[in-house]
Amino acid sequence: MKAIAPQHREIILASSSSTRKALLDRLGLDYRCIAPDIDESPKGEQHADALALRLAYEKAQHIAQAYPEAIVIGSDQVAWRTQTPQIFLGKPLTVDRAIAQLSDNAGQWLNFSTGLSVQCLARQFAQSVVAHYRVQLRDLSRAEIERYVAQEQPLHCAGSFKCEGLGISLFAQMQGNDQTTLMGLPLIELCTLLRQLGLQLP
């Protein structure tokens, strides 16, 4: 059977996230999105890195098993506060929880562990990494928080903000090597893994 060239393998983003889709669009690749159906709740992980890595791997694995010839990209992000034990910051899902989350974290440093897994079962390829980013929120007033949440509705975002939008106005500082890590799909790391599979980027 003739081998499939890397540039002609189907690429699948294991996600329904519009933000991750917009990030992957930057690379100019042909791909499609399939949302994996997995349980995203913690399973005893004590560190955000372990949780983000497992979820990214499981998302990619779930789709790769159904499409073994494809190159599958999975990613997941966990926000957390530097405490012992770590406090994981999930998606608020409601306006009240988003306001509460931003109020609790105003003036604080927040850490983001973004897991990335690229898999192609036909090539026996499965590589996973965790990338990191940090932001410090300003001392925010209740009015600022309520205006922000009302305008941007960051209800499905860990940390209750979208840094690629109005959320940037909430920050005092940002620290990291790749801002796309904070946005949920670390493109520098992704390009490295895709090159290992033989894709030409650019």
Which residue type, as a one-letter code, is found at position 189? E
Q: Is 202 contained in some domain?
A: no
In a domain, 11, yes or no: yes
What is the DSSP secondary structure assignment for residue 188, as one 8-state letter? H
76 catalytic? Reply is yes
Range 166-171 average pLDDT: 96
Report the number of distinct structural domains present in the chain.
Answer: 1
Q: Please check whether residue 146 lies inside any domain of the structure.
A: yes
What value does the mean pLDDT of the chain take? 93
Q: What is the pLDDT of residues 24-44, one digit of tens each?
A: 999 999 999 999 988 878 888
The confidence band for 101, taking pLDDT boundaries of 50, 70 and 90, is very high
| pTM higher than 0.85 | yes
In a domain, 102, yes or no: yes
The residue range of the domain holding 110 is 6-196
The alpha helices in the chain, defined as continuous H runs, are: 18-25, 48-66, 95-105, 142-152, 179-183, 187-196
Q: Per the domain annotation, does 1 fall within a domain? A: no
- Residue 59 is assigned to a structural domain of this protein: yes
Question: How many CB atoms sit inside 10 A of residue 81's CB?
Answer: 15
- The residue annotated as part of the active site, out of 30, 39, 49, 76, is 76
Give pLDDT tens digits for 136-164. 999 999 999 999 999 999 999 989 999 99
| Residue 172 belongs to some domain of the structure | yes
Domain CATH code at residue 139: 3.90.950.10
Confidence of residue 45 (pLDDT cuts 50, 70, 90): confident
Asked if the structure places residue 100 within a domain, the reply is yes
Q: CA angle, corner 49, sides to 43 and 51, nearest 5?
A: 20
CA gap 128, 45 in Å, rounded: 17
